Copies of this chain bind each other. A is one copy, B any other.
Amino acid sequence: MRIHRLAALAVVTLAFAAPALALDAIVEKKVFTLPSFTTMNGETIKYVRVGYETYGTLNAAKDNAILIPHFFSGSSHAAGKYAASDAAPGYWDAIIGPGKPIDTNKYFVLSSDTLVNLSTKDPNVITTGPATINPDTGKPYGMSFPIVTIRDFVNVQKALVDSMGITKLHAVIGASMGALQTFEWGAAYPDAVARIVPVIGGPELDAFAVGWLDLWAEPIRLDANWNKGDYYGKAEPIAGLTAALKVVTWHARYWQWAETALGRKWASPDKDPAKSWDNKYAAQTWLETAAAGRAKVSDANHFLYLVKANQLYSLGSKGNWEEGLKAIKAKVLLMPAKTDLIFFPDFSKRAAAKLKELGKTVDLVEIEGTLGHLDGLVAIPKVGDRLATFLSD
Residues of A within 8 A of B (CB): 40-41, 143, 147, 149, 204-212, 214-215, 218-219, 222-224, 239-240, 243, 246-247, 250, 253-255, 257-259, 261-264, 273-277, 281-284, 287, 308, 311-312, 314, 319, 341, 344, 346
Oligomer copy total:
2
Give the complex CA separation of A276 and B143 in angstroms.
11
A-B pairs with beta carbons under 8 Å apart, 7 shown: A41-B274, A147-B276, A147-B277, A207-B263, A214-B284, A219-B219, A222-B240
Residue pair B312, A41 in contact (C-beta under 8 Å): no
Contacts of A261 in B (CB 8 A): 207
Known: A210-B283, A214-B287. 20 other contacts (CB 8 A): A147-B277, A204-B264, A206-B258, A207-B255, A207-B262, A207-B283, A208-B254, A208-B258, A210-B258, A211-B258, A211-B284, A211-B287, A212-B250, A218-B243, A218-B246, A219-B222, A255-B344, A255-B346, A273-B312, A274-B312
Give the complex CA separation of A258 and B208 in angstroms.
5
User: Closest residue of chain B to A224, judged by CB?
Assistant: B224
Residue pair B258, A207 in contact (C-beta under 8 Å): yes
Residue pair A253, B308 in contact (C-beta under 8 Å): no
Residue pair A255, B206 in contact (C-beta under 8 Å): yes
Residue pair A281, B207 in contact (C-beta under 8 Å): yes
